[in-house]
Structure 1
């Protein structure tokens, strides 16, 4: 057997250099598929939570017809967001499996950026809610507006970090929607959260699927 041939199975079957490279490439692709979890699924989960959850909150407002009790909408929102957060945690754990070095460290730092940022935002909003007193519309605009702006800013940061126009563009969209939701006022802000926010997650998921399929077809 010369230097251009290998016997990967130890069965006397020789492969040329080109065949060996092709085998390595196929094994690498198989490993990559096993380790990869689709971000499209994660985006789809959040699309469902925003579309259904905030849509029901909008429909529970008396100015939108009060088609269902407010407490029911609140329960559905709570369940959907707890499930979405749980799926996000599972997804993040699976994505980080098998990753080592700087990429793993950057991923962890970015994940903690979400936890720290939203934890701090909740403290600020809770204090402002207490100071505002009995002004439910202003409080609703505060929480929805700050949540969307922070979500958009973190996606913008992720897009810059990984040099990916998809999360960057999505972050820009969510940031703009956050500003518009405050200008529109209550209860229209919940409709913006549902249709523009949840719809943005859904579109991003579809774009990612299309881009991923084109990338596989090109290999």
Structure 2
């Protein structure tokens, strides 16, 4: 029987994805990446860091979390029915489409208005909005309300963060985005246990 064991007596269907490792990876990326940006930017930074370091923290955390999420999704797809596999592939394509559209939008906006410095804010906010919207779709396809709710929160927080000036923008993403991922990781075992047989 191909299934993931949560407890010695509870077995979760193999088609379910355990998102805990990915959620923790993304939480780390948000806290370290956006958190270090919040602390090192502005007119009076709390710490002095090379400008590339927050980006490196964020990219490294995102890379690890993306690999974990992709591995878990592919593992679950192997046990899924053909209709579910097709739906998962379409959602998977949404990642490429969403980030391609985001790159075009940001490049177009910053080029047309000759404001390349806006990329420092548009990329983090835009990426989080795209991720949130795709989580909404994944939650709907998988019947996963926790994933859906996390996506809702991320999209709204990222859009609202654009109203916060200076380094506070990154602080909002670090605290509210990172905390949302941590909360989702904490709640994921309860979600999985409710599906166990």
**Distance in 2 separating the partners of 1:86 and 1:215:** 25
* Of 14, 28, 43, the match for 1:48: 28
Give 1:134 shift: 4.6
Higher Cα Rg, which structure: 1
Q: Residue 170 of structure 2 corresponds to which residue in structure 1?
A: 190
Cα deviation 1:43-94 (Å, max 9, x = unaligned): 1111111111111121221443243221222222232222223333333322
Under a length normalisation based on structure 2, what TM-score does the superposition of the two structures give? 0.82
Q: Residue 193 of structure 2 corresponds to which residue in structure 1?
A: 213
SS at match of 1:184: coil
Cα deviation 1:126-154 (Å, max 9, x = unaligned): 22223343562x33332222222222222
SS at match of 2:4: helix
**Distance in 1 separating the partners of 2:108 and 2:25:** 30
- Is 2:139–2:145's contact at 8 Å kept on the other side of the alignment? yes
- Is 2:33–2:174's contact at 8 Å kept on the other side of the alignment? yes
Unaligned runs of 5+ in 2: 6-13
Q: Residue 146 of structure 2 corresponds to which residue in structure 1?
A: 166
Unaligned runs of 5+ in 1: 1-29
Give 1:123 shift: 1.8
- Is 2:136–2:147's contact at 8 Å kept on the other side of the alignment? yes
* Of 92, 98, 102, the match for 2:73: 92
- Is 1:141–1:181's contact at 8 Å kept on the other side of the alignment? no
Give 1:37 shift: 5.0
For the pair 1:157 / 2:137, whether they are aligned, the reply is yes
Under a length normalisation based on structure 1, what TM-score does the superposition of the two structures give? 0.75
**Distance in 2 separating the partners of 1:188 and 1:107:** 36
Q: Whose helix fraction is larger, Structure 1's or Structure 2's?
A: 1
CA RMSD of superposed structures (Å)? 2.2
- Is 1:59–1:66's contact at 8 Å kept on the other side of the alignment? yes
Cα deviation 1:153-208 (Å, max 9, x = unaligned): 22222233334321221122112201221011221111111111121111111111
